[in-house]
Amino acid sequence: MKKLVILTGAGMSAESGISTFRDAGGLWDRYPVEQVATPEGWERNPTLVTEFYNRQRMQLVKAQPNEGHRLLARLEEAFDVAIVTQNVDDLHERAGSSHVVHLHGELMKVCSSRRPDDARYIRTLGPDELRVEPGTLAPDGSLLRPWIVWFGEAVPNMTVATHLAAAADVFVIIGTSLNVYPAAGLIHYVPREAPVFLIDPKPVAVPEGRPVHIISDVATAGVRTLTRELQAIG
């Protein structure tokens, strides 16, 4: 099977009712990024940050995968699919995708604030644990924090993502502005001979000299078109 690598961003989950971050009316309009998505914000007010992610978690459990998520999962019938996502939701997994790499963490997981990437302290919350009480401690005695990669922090899964991009026979970008690094740089690792598709209803700046097949549509409709296009490749 050919290797299909898909990079998804906030636009992938927008049709499921998950708020985007950068668009007008998005999360960063309502909650200053410095307060809820930086290590400094956490140090200043961990209660505020904990409650912010509690609210996001409550929103997530009410959301359902959209048709775009389900169509991507179905592509595993014809391709060796790996999804690299900037999203912290679990909608790809709930739609049935079996290989998902989260660059920016996962909303349904918590970790040690002293050692955020220590696997011993990363835990998936159960359905009766969606609200984390401020002040809850991790097993190492530090405050329990969301397993989210905040601005200014390293992206642990970036090495995995670059290796996937470098091995891609086909590379697809869905619902991301390509403004957020290091994720936006993944396209530079894709082999020159591999076709690249981009799905987004808004104009996205792509690297000069790199042929990109643009599908100007929202995620669900765009993935429908992509599926037809891929039939000629697979």
Query: Which tokens in the block code for residue 58?
Result: 């409550």
Residue 216 CB partners (closer than 8 Å, separation 6+): 200, 201
Could you tell me which of 143, 109, 146, 142 has the C-alpha nearest to residue 126?
Answer: 109
Name the phi and psi angles at 71, rounded to 5. -65, -40
DSSP 8-state secondary structure symbol assigned to residue 209: T
For residues 142 and 110, is the Cβ–Cβ distance under 8 A? no
Across 16-45, average pLDDT: 74
Q: If 0-12 CB within 10 Å is exposed, 13-18 middle and 19+ buried, where does residue 109 land?
A: middle
Homologous superfamily of domain range 1-18+63-104+155-234: TPP-binding domain (3.40.50.1220)
Q: What is the pLDDT of residues 176-196, one digit of tens each?
A: 988 778 887 899 999 999 999
Average pLDDT, the chain: 91
Confidence category of residue 197, pLDDT binned at 50, 70, 90: very high
pLDDT at 234 over 80: no
Please list the active-site residues.
104
Let me know how long the chain is: 234
Could you tell me which of 158, 165, 3, 169 has the C-alpha nearest to residue 81?
Answer: 3
Residues of the chain with CATH 3.40.50.1220: 1-18+63-104+155-234
Confidence category of residue 32, pLDDT binned at 50, 70, 90: confident
For residues 143 and 117, is the Cβ–Cβ distance under 8 A? no
- pLDDT > 70: what percent of the chain? 94
How high is the pLDDT of residue 26?
A: 47
The pTM is what? 0.92
199-221 b/e (C-beta count within 10 Å ≥ 16 → b): bbeeebeeeeeeeeeebeebbbb
Give the sign of the dihedral formed by CA 66, CA 71, CA 74, CA 76. Answer: negative
